[in-house]
Amino acid sequence: MSKVESVLTLFSLTDSTLRDEIILLRDATECQEVFKNIRRNLFPTSESKRVQDLCILKGVDSSVEYSLLRMEIGDLPIDPRAENVSWYDYLHPNNAKVQKFVKDVLHANNLRLAHKYDEWLSTQSSDVKQRLPTTQNIRDGYFGPDYTKFNVLLSVDV
């Protein structure tokens, strides 16, 4: 008997309402979805951020590498991601920001040179200026250490 089966059996023996719900589960996929929802409810966002920071520190680059880290460390959750977040975006949080910035700001406004971006940014409203980095912010690592040069940003696939 699997761990899941054992847990469900124990629950069904202790609570008749849960027993009825368990009996109504149609298949393994539905059961997995139930456990996924339970994990999400029990796993706070702050813990997910801690795990994400650990993954970045350890250089974890994929879900497979995360599984290996989980075997090594032991107390990590099966899936620390928030709903609708891909493994790639979870393990590369700066990359998602970079792609959005390049697509929505640089490409959308045909900004190909750093000084042209600075000129464009200076003409924007104060709320836009507060949300977007200056070229100095970019050089200082706003998007992480791999994206400190404006021309590198322009080479990002979107």
Mean pLDDT score of the chain = 83
Task: Indicate whether 117 and 140 sit together in one domain.
Answer: yes
Task: Indicate whether 113 and 65 sit together in one domain.
Answer: no
Task: Indicate whether 150 and 97 sit together in one domain.
Answer: yes
Residue 145 identity (one-letter amino acid): P
* In contact, 1 and 9? CB cutoff 8 Å: yes
Rounded percentage of the chain residues whose pLDDT exceeds 90: 29
* Distance (Å, whole) CA 115 – CA 121: 10
* Burial grade of 118 (CB within 10 A; 0-12, 13-18, 19 or more): middle
Task: Indicate whether 84 and 108 sit together in one domain.
Answer: no
Q: pLDDT tens digits for 134-146?
A: 998 888 878 877 8
Task: pLDDT band for 11, please (50, 70, 90 cuts).
Answer: confident
Task: Indicate whether 36 and 71 sit together in one domain.
Answer: no
Task: Indicate whether 142 and 124 sit together in one domain.
Answer: yes
Q: Given this model, what pLDDT does residue 73 score?
A: 86
Task: Indicate whether 97 and 140 sit together in one domain.
Answer: yes
Q: Would you call 111 helix, strand, or coil by DSSP? A: coil
Q: Which domain holds residue 57?
A: 45-91
Task: pLDDT band for 149, please (50, 70, 90 cuts).
Answer: very high
Judged against a pLDDT cut of 80, whether residue 103 lies above it is answered with: yes
Residue 44 identity (one-letter amino acid): P
Q: pLDDT tens digits for 44-98?
A: 667 888 899 999 899 898 899 999 999 998 778 888 888 777 787 788 887 768 8
**The two structure tokens encoding residue 67:** 């599984």
Task: pLDDT band for 29, please (50, 70, 90 cuts).
Answer: confident
Task: Indicate whether 70 and 98 sit together in one domain.
Answer: no
Q: Given this model, what pLDDT does residue 39 score?
A: 63
Task: Indicate whether 49 and 86 sit together in one domain.
Answer: yes
Scan for tokens 């059961």, then name that residue: 31
